[in-house]
Chains A and B, each alone.
Chain A
Amino acid sequence: MTRRRMVSTFILELLTIASLILANTETLFFKVPSTFRSESSEYDTASPHLSLVNTNRGTKEFDIPIGSTFGLELHGLEPGDTYQAKFCWTAADPVDVRVIGWALQRKKGSPSSKDLINVVNVELVPFSYPAIKTSTVPVIVSVAAVRLGLPVDLYSTLLYITLVFAATYGVYRHFLRSIVW
């Protein structure tokens, strides 16, 4: 394993750990097999789907039913790429995730067993007393390609945090150090 790859893997591990800490967000990392090929380029847009055609990230809001598995088709994923799928719902809707996963499934109505599509599945369950009254919960699903061990939609935030850190260092070195010490 090259050093760059090791660093990427390490960052990915850290991110996975961090994602587990979040309360109303569930994240999932998955890798599309490099041998993955969809026989037809036509996508079924009648089913819940998120398109990443010609882009490396996508975000969409869905009303996800409580108590049953919700499958979301992901269109335009690149073979061999790693992706992060993120499900965010508001704390005002007290639900929990029972099942979350990624799978390659055969396209609906397709006769060919090789005509596969990427699907992320999630099952929400009520988690409160009294139980939530609505049958669906709005959830924002974001899918982003992982580059250098980081989801691309996190780059702007990480860049900003780095800038804040650098600015703090500059302020400390040139002003605060002489005042504080």
Chain B
Amino acid sequence: MNVLKLIGVFAIVKSIQYLIVFLAPCVQFDTSTALFLSKFAGQEEINKWWNARLWNKLVGWDAVYYLKNAMQPSLQPEYEHENAFSPIWSQLIRAACLGDLSFYHVLKTGVIVENCLHLGASILLYFLTLSTFKVNTFGPQQRRLLALKTAVLFIAGSGSGFFLGVYSEPLSALLSFLGLLSREIAVEYDLHGGLVVTWYKWPIYTLFSTICFTAAFAVRPNCILLGLYYIFDLYKLLTSRDYGKAIFMPLLSGFGMFCFFIYYQYYAPYQIYCPSRGAWCSNKILDLPLSSQSLYNFIQGHYWNVGFLRYWTFNNIPNFLIALPNAVILWFSAIYFSHQYPYSNLKPLVLITRFLLIILIFFAHIQIINRISSFIPLHLWYIAHRHNRLKSMKGKKLKGDDRLVRFYVIWSIFWLPLQTALFASFLPPA
């Protein structure tokens, strides 16, 4: 029943968002979409009624790269920096196009797949929430309400304006939630917070969750942080002297993920670009066919000026302000589930949330927090958890977490349509 409710909420939210895009002025602030369209489609096609009023407005920011990669004759992106825009996601769109790679077919297919993935991730998050909080003190009714609210917050999340188009985050979120759910099913905790995992759940833990986390990483490199689950589990099993399980479960999973990381970020790019490329290829590791700098790292630094404190400039103050609500809520959710409600099964996620926040604040373009934090649900659980309490506090003066959550929810209600309108007008934030 709640899943049907979720589908209903999804349909309503998306309809409103697409209406906002549809009604937005056809002349965008950044006029480069017209140039991109004329490269890949005929003028008559571009000017068609629906294309001009709806579809063309979805071709902005990163969507350009995903669409271009999807239409490439070869699997390899044309330019080096285009590797930063998940070639796997582009290949998925390409596969879904069933051979017809005309521009508007690719765009429409991409948008349909994106919406299916976003809805799928929302439903998965609902079940992940039910599973995660089953060991806690909630009653079934309260748990279902928490799960429903969490999924609704994900549907109408701070990055949902981008997810109308062709972005890779819904796919990475779906894979991440699937991995989290499989791990959640595989492990249990004893009264002392020790990790309990039985051998017959080995395939769910070691195979399924590893495949999901690794695939999520391949889609969006920030999902490499999910590997912290295995480090955490390894530490727990080693301290409880469960060496067999420690080796064949988290160590094997983590090693598998690490091997893929080396292959995907170091070995495969080296085979394609080096040594003729120079630059990042120049410094090898121990004369192996591996460069000391990963391709993704190089691309981010060279083309987008990503690096330690490089984004801390006066002209980026608006971006920090745009990111502030999510940065604050992520930080407080980590504190909340560390001290006020220190659930054992949430400890790795608290760690991941903290790492993500530190990386985003000090190294990345901070405003992307609004969409890339979608692969972790900790802040959504925090908001949903506190919101359950807020209902019973009508008329009372709100303090601390309750006040923060109230502010965040109001901000989200205003941010979603605002960000949708900004996206449709090709205005920042990216």
Contact = CB atoms under 8 A, between A and B. Distances in A.
Contacts, number: 116
A153 interface: yes
Nearest to B36: A90
Interface stretch (B215-223, B315-323, B339-347): B315-323
- In this complex, the interface size class of chain A, counting residues with CB under 8 Å from chain B, is 35 or more
Nearest to A129: B80
A86 B427 CA distance: 13
Given A21-B315, A160-B25, A90 B64 contact: yes
A161 interface: yes
Interface in B26-46: 27-36, 38-39
Given A156-B25, A157-B25, A161-B422, A91 B318 contact: no
A142 B390 CA distance: 50
A165 B64 contact: no
A128 B81 contact: yes
B10 interface: no
- In this complex, the interface size class of chain B, counting residues with CB under 8 Å from chain A, is 35 or more
A8 interface: no
A150 B232 CA distance: 52
A129 B81 CA distance: 8
Contacts of A165: 414, 417-418
Given A90-B39, A92-B39, A129-B79, A24 B30 contact: yes
Q: Which secondary structure characterizes the binding site on chain A?
A: mixed
A176 to B, nearest CB: 6
A88 B35 contact: yes
A53 interface: no
Contacts of A138: 35, 38
A140 interface: yes
Among A91, A164, A168, find the residue whose CB has the most chain B CB atoms closer than 10 A: A91
B210 interface: no
A139 to B, nearest CB: 8
Interface in B407-425: 409-410, 413-414, 417-418, 420-422, 425
A91 B315 contact: no
Nearest to A151: B29
A18 B427 CA distance: 9
Nearest to B23: A160
A180 B405 CA distance: 12
B399 interface: no
B425 A157 contact: yes
A168 B25 contact: no
Among B30, B318, B391, B406, find the residue whose CB has the most chain A CB atoms closer than 10 A: B30
Given A156-B27, A157-B427, A180-B413, A89 B418 contact: no
A59 interface: yes
30 contacts: A17-B314, A17-B315, A21-B319, A21-B430, A22-B428, A23-B430, A25-B29, A89-B35, A90-B33, A90-B35, A92-B64, A127-B303, A128-B79, A128-B81, A129-B79, A129-B81, A130-B80, A138-B38, A139-B35, A153-B27, A156-B27, A157-B27, A160-B421, A161-B421, A164-B418, A168-B417, A172-B410, A172-B413, A180-B409, A181-B394
Interface of B: 20, 23-25, 27-36, 38-39, 61, 64-65, 68, 79-81, 273, 277, 279, 303, 314-319, 390-391, 394, 406, 409-410, 413-414, 417-418, 420-422, 425, 427-430
Interface of A: 14, 17-18, 20-25, 59, 61, 86, 88-94, 127-130, 138-140, 142, 153-154, 156-157, 160-161, 164-165, 167-169, 172, 176, 180-181
Given A18-B428, A90-B32, 20 more contacts: A21-B316, A21-B428, A21-B429, A59-B31, A89-B32, A90-B64, A91-B32, A91-B65, A92-B35, A92-B36, A93-B35, A129-B81, A138-B35, A139-B35, A156-B27, A160-B24, A165-B414, A165-B417, A169-B414, A172-B410
